[in-house]
Amino acid sequence: MYPLKFKKHLVKKVWGGHGFQELLGIELPTEDNYGESWEVSSHKSGMSFVENGPFSGLSLQELLEKYKEQFVGETVYKKYGNNFPLLIKYLDINDKLSVQVHPSDDYALRVEGEFGKSETWYVINASEDATLILGIKKGINKESFFEKFNKKEFDDIFNIVSVKKGDFIDVKPGLVHASLTGSIVICETQQNSDTTYRIYDFDRLVDGELRPLHLEKAGEVINFDESPIITTSENRQTIELKNCSKEELVRNQYFNIDKLFITGKHFDDLNSNFKILSILSGNGTMKCNDEVYPLVTGDTYFIPALLNIEIEGNLEILKSYL
């Protein structure tokens, strides 16, 4: 086993832009607007394929089914089997992202046949006017929400939050969310799911048509009492390690995420399960089994279970793991 890089799966979006190339050094194949870069995925909508080393050309799913515990770790494989649990994306949002909500595992497995969608957003960059819709205002219940929705009275039903670079947002199932103003580039860690229920799309036309809404399902999964959890670098605890400052961003049943600031040579913790490193900024190297791998802004590496790695450089890294 060795650290794996996957070919990026780029997705055009009406709300996308060119931020991947400008901020993350990700080459875009056309002048179209790209809104998503799927970095690590075994989902049918955007399967990841290895682009480095002996496993080049193989999919994440093929490697999981062949190497099982050796690939993802014993506890992960025991819990999830051949269903890879995470999906890592970059998002480049330059227009209103539709008002939407994601279901829980219980609902999604019963209705959609796949996992629910708990996700997190780490803000890599944001314009000064960037705002998000995060949750429903207090006092609004299902009946009053859809009554106002049908009248298109949107001014007093959503929580509107300003965001900035470095913010971390925990978007739990049931939390209504959207982008509203400005532009924002995000690193998203989520469950392995592509289930989204669109509530409102600002009457936007795509190819001359309105995109479909999913109001009945949305009404069944919205948590009208859910409030967003947002942390910033100012209020997160920092743990000082040798040549590394670590911020613990989230710990939950679906994933753990740390932010690492590395200045020099750092021996990362040995994980019994896999981990995923998203290089948010900087450059350096990673050493594993006497092989050296370059690290630059925009890279994403999948580290199989029980691999020792040594990182050196000046780097800002998001580490996702179970």
The residues annotated with a catalytic role in the active site are 198
Q: Is residue 126 within 8 Å of residue 173, measured between CB atoms?
A: no
Reduce the DSSP state of residue 144 to 3 states and report it. Answer: helix
Sort 52 into a burial class: Cβ within 10 Å, 0-12 / 13-18 / 19+.
middle
Tokens 């006092």 map to which residue? 139
d(CA 53, CA 255): 27
Helices then strands (H, E): number in the chain?
7, 21
Whether the CB-CB separation of 115 and 108 falls below 8 Å is answered with yes
Give the C-alpha separation, 286 to 299, whole Å: 12
Q: Which of 311, 197, 192, 206 is nearest to 254 (CA)?
A: 192
Say which residue the tokens 């049918």 belong to: 44
Phi, psi of 242 (to 5 degrees): -65, 115
